Amino acid sequence: MKKTRITSIRSSLAWLVAACLFPATLTAALLLAYDYQRQRAELVRDTVAHARALMHAVDREFAGAEMSLRSLSTSPSLQSRDFAAFQAQATALLHRHYANNIVLIDASGQQRINTARPYGQALPKATNMAQLERVLQNGRTDISDLFIGPVLKRPLINVAVPVYSGNAVSHSLVAVVLPEHLQKILSDYRFPSDRIATIFDASGVIVARTHEIHQFIGQPLGSDLTQRLTEVDEASLEAVSREGIPVLSVFTRSPTSRWGVAIGIPIASLTGELRHSLWLLGGLATLLLASSLGLAWVMGGRIVQSVRALRSAALSLGDGRVAAVPALEIREVDEVGQAINRASLMLTDASKALTDSEARMRGIVESATDAIVILDDSWNIVLFNFAAVTMFGCPLEEAIGTPFIRFIPERLRGDFSAQLLAPRELDLQDREAPAIEVATAMRLDGDEFAVEISFPQVLAGSSQVHTLILRDITARLRIHEALERSNLDLQQFAYVASHDLKTPLRSIGGFVQLLEKNYADKLDERAIALIRRTAAAANRLEQLTDDLLSYARVSSGSRAFTPVDCSEVFEDVLQLLDAPISASGASVTARPLPTVTGDRTQLVQLLLNLVANGIKYCDGPPVVHVSAELHEREWVFSVKDNGIGMEPKHHERVFEIFKRLHTQQEYTGTGIGLAICRRVVISHGGRIWIESAPGKGSTFRFTIPASAGESSSS
């Protein structure tokens, strides 16, 4: 996995500042460097121009001297060898000119006149014989290098022109120029004090110099410059001055005299400005960086503080504690803080609501009479309510975390796990009908008992909670068994009664009839009346026996339900009641009746009893109507009559066995009919009730569950 580098806010801000400042500083430095180069090039150009101008000034000096000499050389006094006059003429010229003195040298090198000496004084031979040679041979103006003059005994320069006698050069006329003169030209130029300007002769010897001329006059130029002079006439180069100062040196040479001028600009002063600017820039950048970093540090600190406040709030929120973030200085962070505060408030409310509802739920769960057990995904117990503790005889601490299967007898565990604990299909459509199973469970002490287990589909979020609700049905099963037994006994009894009671009853009836028939003439009126009453009693007893038998037969246990068309049932009833109907002149009608699932014989008995009662309990001509309507999932049947009706207080009681509201004299009956009706309705899963009032007729209503597929719209 790639490890992410974690940086602090402060260092990130510092980097940001550096990233912003660095390019700006770099650009400024580049601009400065470019500017320096430009300025340097400009300076070189300017300096070359200065050097050329200076060179011109020197050349002009030599040219001036040459011009004067040339006019002197054609002087008539010279032609006539009147040297005294010539010296006077030359001296006069000197007053208007720059040469120190004028010397006339003959072809042998002997000075003929020298204005530096009074005329007639003995003069030495010329020392610069090379120049004399050149003038005699070439017949052209010649400018000497610096040399020590024989008369003045000091460094000087000679500008020499030839003096012709006929076609040949007879003399060399020389103007002596002192280095001081050139030095003056140099100082007239007023170079900036750090510029080292030098005037040098054709052989590269220093003649005039802005700095330290006394030390360097007559000395050659620096070696770099001397070297370069042999190559070109004009150039700029970095060199070291005679004083040892590194300079940018510019030189130019006269094409005519081969003299030259060099101007040295100390590198230090050249780069001084640049260095100054760079220092300024550096200082500025450093200052900016420092202040920005300081600002970043302070701001980073604020952010860090705010975020820390958020962090501790978020942490306490995560722990479920109340978080209170104070107002923070940074808006976005403050917004998060406010959101955390709101969330905290909501959490507090929610957790209070949760605690309350949890307490309520726990109360309900703990007070439930059914055992409630919640299992985790590995079927271990996580919740075990009080009823479960009692049911399994297992303390809570011993149950929690242990597998539920321990409460199932060992031999049944395989089946139980496979069938009951298997993951159940989550059916959200069918939430109201939890699967109910009957199983055998085992107490901690090993006692086994029957339980009914339901598996309600409880959802926590989107996952199912494995919940078991267990009910001990031992007692119920026992009652059920007892009921079954008693039902069976009753049926047995009914059969016995039908056989063992009806046979002697029939005998009694037969004997009484025989008695009346054979001994009617021998018996008096009272005896005959007694015989008739005995016959009636026997008859009634037989009827009672039949009714009891059919009551016993309607047991909820024996079900043989089939689809039964109730219209057909009604037809059967009409046939069975043919005699009473015609006797009473009753009108018995029905609307089309539905087909229901049930026991046909029982349904005939039900409708028969109700219609018969409707006919029986009536003072005038009876009108009985049967109808059925679908309500929700059940059919509601109504049997309505126009009979005597009954008080509401009897509406319940008449369904009890043997309950009658009338004497045999008023209306005959056994008091079993409605009891049978109730049994039939209950065995079909329905209810029966009466709507009636005395003199207002009665409506008996009962329900039968509708078969699947039928609905209230049909």
674 is a site residue for ligand ADP (CB under 6 A): yes
Provide the greatest CA pair distance for the chain. 236
CB-nearer residue toward ligand ADP: 175 or 676: 676
Length of the chain: 714
User: For ligand ADP, which residue of 644, 681, 704, 706 counts as binding (CB under 6 A)?
Assistant: 644
Q: Are 345 and 337 in contact (CB under 8 A)?
A: no
Radius of gyration from C-alpha coordinates of the chain: 74
643 is a site residue for ligand ADP (CB under 6 A): yes
**b/e map of 499-532 (b: 16 or more CB within 10 Å)?**
eebeeebeebbeebeebbeeeeeeeeeeeeeebe
User: For ligand ADP, which residue of 155, 246, 671, 685 counts as binding (CB under 6 A)?
Assistant: 671
Q: Please state, in angstroms and rounded to a whole number, the distance separating the CA atoms of residues 299 and 305.
A: 10
CB-nearer residue toward ligand ADP: 252 or 613: 613
What are the DSSP calls for 83-150, one per residue?
HHHHHHHHHHHHHHSS-SEEEEEETTSBEEEETTS-TTS---B-S-HHHHHHHHHH-S-EE---EE-T
Tokens representing 398?
A: 């011993």
549 is a site residue for ligand ADP (CB under 6 A): no
CB-nearer residue toward ligand ADP: 249 or 670: 670
Min dist CB 641 to ligand ADP, Å, is: 5
User: For ligand ADP, which residue of 254, 670, 683, 703 counts as binding (CB under 6 A)?
Assistant: 670
**Per-residue x/- mask for ligand ADP, residues 675 to 714, rule CB under 6 A?**
-----------------------x----------------
**Per-residue x/- mask for ligand ADP, residues 550 to 589, rule CB under 6 A?**
----------------------------------------
Q: What is the DSSP letter of 378?
A: T
646 is a site residue for ligand ADP (CB under 6 A): yes
Which contiguous run of DSSP H or E holds residue 582?
A: helix 578-584
User: For ligand ADP, which residue of 381, 607, 641, 642 counts as binding (CB under 6 A)?
Assistant: 641
CB-nearer residue toward ligand ADP: 182 or 675: 675
CB-nearer residue toward ligand ADP: 215 or 589: 589
CB-nearer residue toward ligand ADP: 513 or 543: 543
Q: Please state, in angstroms and rounded to a whole number, the distance separating the CA atoms of residues 195 and 248.
A: 10
Q: Are 156 and 176 in contact (CB under 8 A)?
A: yes
Name the residue whose CB lies closest to ligand ADP: 669
669 is a site residue for ligand ADP (CB under 6 A): yes
Q: Please state, in angstroms and rounded to a whole number, the distance separating the CA atoms of residues 235 and 228.
A: 8
* Extended beta strands in 369-505, E state: 371-375, 381-384, 435-442, 448-455, 458-460, 463-472
200 is a site residue for ligand ADP (CB under 6 A): no
**Per-residue x/- mask for ligand ADP, residues 591 to 620, rule CB under 6 A?**
------------------x---xx--x---
Min dist CB 644 to ligand ADP, Å, is: 5
Q: Are 657 and 675 in contact (CB under 8 A)?
A: yes
Min dist CB 589 to ligand ADP, Å, is: 16
Neighbours of 31 (CB within 10 A): 12
642 is a site residue for ligand ADP (CB under 6 A): no
Q: Please state, in angstroms and rounded to a whole number, the distance separating the CA atoms of residues 317 and 344.
A: 6
CB-nearer residue toward ligand ADP: 394 or 688: 688
**Residues in contact with ligand ADP by the rule CB under 6 A:** 609, 613-614, 617, 641, 643-646, 654, 659-662, 669-674, 698
